[in-house]
A = this chain, B = another copy of it.
Amino acid sequence: MSTDPLVVFTPSGKRGHFPAGTPILTAARQLGVDLDSVCGGRGICSKCQIQPSFGEFPKHGLTSSEGALSEWNSVEQRYKDKRGLIDGRRLGCQATVQGDIVIDVPPESQVHRQVVRKAASAREMIMDPAVRPYYVEVDEPDMHTPTGDLERLATALKDQWDIESVTAGMSVLRKLQPTLRKGKWTCTVVLHKGHQDSEHRILDIYPGYDETRLYGLAIDLGSTTIAAHLTDLRNGTVVASSGIMNPQIRFGEDLMSRVSYSMMNPGGDVEMTTAVRTALNALTDTLSAEAEIQPSQIMEAVFVCNPVMHHLLLGIDPVELGQAPFALATSKSLSLHVADLDLTCMNPAARVFILPCIAGHVGADAAAVALSEAPGEQEELTLVVDVGTNAEILLGNTTQTLACSSPTGPAFEGAQISSGQRAAPGAIERIEIDPATKEPRFQVIGSDTWSDEDGFDAAIATTGVTGICGSGIIEAVAEMRMAGLLDAKGLIGSPEQTGTPRSIPEGRTHSYVIYDGTADGGPLITVTQTDIRAIQLAKSALYAGARLLMDEMGTDTVERVVLAGAFGAHISPKHAMVLGMIPDVPLDKVTSAGNAAGTGARMALCSVEARASIEKTVREITKVETAIEPKFQEHFVNANAIPHATDPFTILRSIAPLPDVSFNTGGSGDGGRRRRRSR
């Protein structure tokens, strides 16, 4: 048994005996206790604050545990005077072991502190960023042993931080000499090390001890919108978020039209690449301005995107993604320099990390969802559905994870719907239809008042009622089916068949009037037969994808459904199930994960370990290609009815008994059975 004092660290429980006089920071490092330090133990950064929780306590005010810890010293007092220190706290680099003691490491003193995610899922996020600042003291140059400033800086990092090997790019080399001299041979270096890097890379250098905050961007580059979260790399806090339309929309609404544009127009891919990079620079500028930071404080950008966006971002012609066998140019994660992507509004040495793609149709966005929702870590068989213009579908539990994508088209986003619009104030997002009177009531985005409640007109005075958004159209179609306005095949009944004048003729079919604002010069908002068909196509594609994964796994049921994406956050699980978008599960087993792809991007931004983890996960995922699987077509056709023609589920019946109506009059009611694509 050692006669040296025993030091026990909480919450880790790590313990060891140390000679009297050993600084707590040194003891922590030797035991591998997660105690932060930027200045390397010089009493400058205060990151190593600790809380003595056992020992004899001091007589002379303040907080030293006399006997167990060394006395409060002048460095601590100076720090406290200058910057403040919570009573009871000590600096781990100043306080030394004198007797047996328990030391608590508060969360903010842990490097790899856990950040509880706001989303429903209770999983925690570990801060383990690729980018971190280090304070070092560098030897002055000596003519008799001439070495470069960079080489002496590297020696300092090795001696003071055990960092074996560093490289520096041109932007750092250029400022290295004046910075070291300004800081009187002390500096704070920003180092980057990705999960596959063998060396640290110096991204920036500041004179002396510097507390400049370092930021990263988590970017969800979608076909329609680009969303970016400016994130503090110290604690994972999102300090500003912003989204803009993807300017590539002018080259084609969906992915395949953009691929076509590239095929038809020589140099078209370059146009699209330039457009998105320009937009990313503008978006980055906006975020810096909003958060009032310098572009040079942005040290890394992490991207998630589908394969076509991925290739266009990289400047690779996506033409191969438009035809079988849908070969990616590269599928692994990529670690790049900002200059590779012409990203000019960040630190000139900033890095880019792009998550791996799962397959030619299943991109880095799906990988990000897999990272965020981790179906492969669930005991319950979990279906994760991220609905956009393309749906990314994951099915997994601890035994296996499968993934596919399905081309749902833009109907779920309110596009290609006669009264459809993107989710914005004035858009109908909630609908109920009385099964007896066939009368609708609804809510619009921007107001909590239902349309049949007092004050509705006042509540919508500024926005009006402008259209139906994606979640609104889902509810409208499901409610129409539950109210008997729509039969199982998706045909809208005539006024005679439905008994309501809201069913109005439109060509040889009928539409259902939800809102008639024409008297006041407003819109006539209807659900047309064509709208129903578009939704049927979309939901069939989504369902068929999920069903295909279930086939692969040899199951007819799933235990949990996670709806991801902005759309998933607003969708009503009941209506989605009535419509047959997703397999039946108990309603309380359907959760929304919000922007799971964006969350995955943030997780990868904040944790090198998360990057390694998703790379491994992606390799292990079983990829299912919907485009070549004959069963997909079969499921697609069978899923056309509302609910599915071959519905194997029963839960639905209990939550939403459907009227047994049929309006099929031999007319045009068969449109929904058309195959959507014929690859």
Q: Which residues of A line the B interface, CB within 8 A? A: 140-151, 168-170, 173-174, 176-178, 198, 314-317, 319-320, 324-332, 336, 339-340, 357-360, 623, 625, 627-628
Contacts and interface: CB of A to CB of B under 8 A. Distances in A.
Given A148-B330, A170-B340, 7 more contacts: A144-B623, A146-B360, A146-B623, A148-B332, A149-B328, A176-B316, A177-B329
A658 to B, nearest CB: 38
Contacts of A148: 327-332, 357
Contacts of A170: 314-315, 336, 340
A146 B326 contact: yes
B151 A331 contact: yes
A628 B329 contact: no
A328 B331 CA distance: 41
B143 A326 contact: yes
B149 A330 contact: yes
A625 B329 contact: no
B340 A169 contact: yes
16 contacts: A143-B359, A145-B623, A146-B327, A146-B358, A146-B359, A146-B625, A148-B330, A148-B331, A148-B332, A150-B330, A150-B332, A151-B330, A170-B314, A174-B315, A177-B316, A339-B339
Contact of A173 (B174, B198, B329): B329
Contacts of A319: 177
Contact of A330 (B173, B198, B320, B628): B173
Given A148-B332, A151-B331, A357-B148, A325 B625 contact: no
Contact of A329 (B150, B169, B327, B358): B150
Given A198-B198, A315-B170, A177 B327 contact: yes
A335 B625 CA distance: 42
- Total identical chains: 2
A315 B175 CA distance: 10
Contacts of A143: 324-326, 359-360, 625, 627-628
A141 B628 CA distance: 14
Contacts of A625: 143-144, 146
- In the A-B complex, the 9 residue pairs with the closest CB atoms: A148-B331, A141-B327, A146-B359, A148-B330, A150-B330, A148-B328, A143-B625, A143-B325, A141-B325
A339 B336 CA distance: 14
Q: Which of A145, A315, A330, A336 has the most CB of B within 10 A?
A: A330
Contacts of A331: 146-148, 150-151
B320 A177 contact: yes
A155 to B, nearest CB: 12
Nearest to A629: B143
A577 B475 CA distance: 100
A554 B325 CA distance: 74
A145 B315 CA distance: 24
Nearest to A273: B174
A319 B144 CA distance: 19
A329 B340 CA distance: 25
Contacts of A359: 143, 146
Contacts of A174: 314-317
A606 B556 CA distance: 64
A340 B172 CA distance: 12
A177 B316 CA distance: 9
Contacts of A360: 141, 143, 146
Contacts of A326: 141, 143, 146
Nearest to A142: B325
Nearest to A336: B170
A146 B329 contact: no
A622 to B, nearest CB: 10
A211 B229 CA distance: 49
Contacts of A176: 316, 329-330
Given A143-B628, A146-B331, A173 B324 contact: no
A270 to B, nearest CB: 10
A175 to B, nearest CB: 9
A145 B328 CA distance: 12
A198 B625 CA distance: 35
A176 B330 CA distance: 9
A133 B610 CA distance: 36
A619 to B, nearest CB: 10
A205 to B, nearest CB: 12
A340 B169 CA distance: 8
A277 B325 CA distance: 45
Contacts of A168: 330
Q: Which of A146, A148, A627 has the most CB of B within 10 A?
A: A146
A164 to B, nearest CB: 13
Nearest to A628: B143
Nearest to A181: B320
A631 to B, nearest CB: 14
Contacts of A177: 316-317, 319-320, 327, 329
A168 B336 CA distance: 10
A328 B628 contact: no
A378 B76 CA distance: 60
Nearest to A178: B317
Contacts of A623: 144-146
Nearest to A270: B174
Contacts of A357: 148
A633 to B, nearest CB: 15
Nearest to A165: B196
Contacts of A151: 330-332
A617 B107 CA distance: 50
Nearest to A361: B146
A465 to B, nearest CB: 45
Q: Which of A143, A150, A176, A328 has the most CB of B within 10 A?
A: A143
Given A320-B177, A339-B339, A340-B170, A146 B328 contact: yes
A150 B317 CA distance: 14
Contacts of A140: 325
A176 B148 CA distance: 39
